Amino acid sequence: MTVLIIIIIVLGVTVALGSMLFSRGDGGGVVQPKSDCSACSGESAKCAHDCMMEAAVKDVEYYDDEELDMFAGRRSDGYTDDEAEMFREVMLTMNPCEVAPWSRSMALRGIEPPDQIKDEMMMIMDDAAAG
């Protein structure tokens, strides 16, 4: 019986020492992202992935574009020119630095932007990242 109590005490001490030695030193809490997604230009796949993962755990942010939700699930090559113009109007009314987060917002909502505006969208995002 005494041997069993000693074994339990030794195991407890070993576990306590091991957890102190191998703890990360940050309290074991949730790791917060160190990057600012507003600075992510989309050139780095890791940055884009990290920002998408960060955005996935947050509520979807709308950019006064709730009317675009009706296009969720539609392929990017399936829009008429009038429908593409709806996207263009929303895009051109926002600040250029908001276009990349808007694109992520649409992706999280299952909305593919129309092919007709993709080049223009990329140019705006590139200009915003450079300037």
Quote the pTM value.
0.60
Cα gap 28→109, rounded to integer Å: 32
Report the first-to-last Cα separation within the chain, whole angstroms. 74
Cα gap 88→113, rounded to integer Å: 10
Confidence at 124, pLDDT banded by 50, 70, 90: very high
Q: Is the pLDDT of residue 26 over 60?
A: no
Cα gap 104→126, rounded to integer Å: 15
The two tokens of residue 98 are: 């908001």
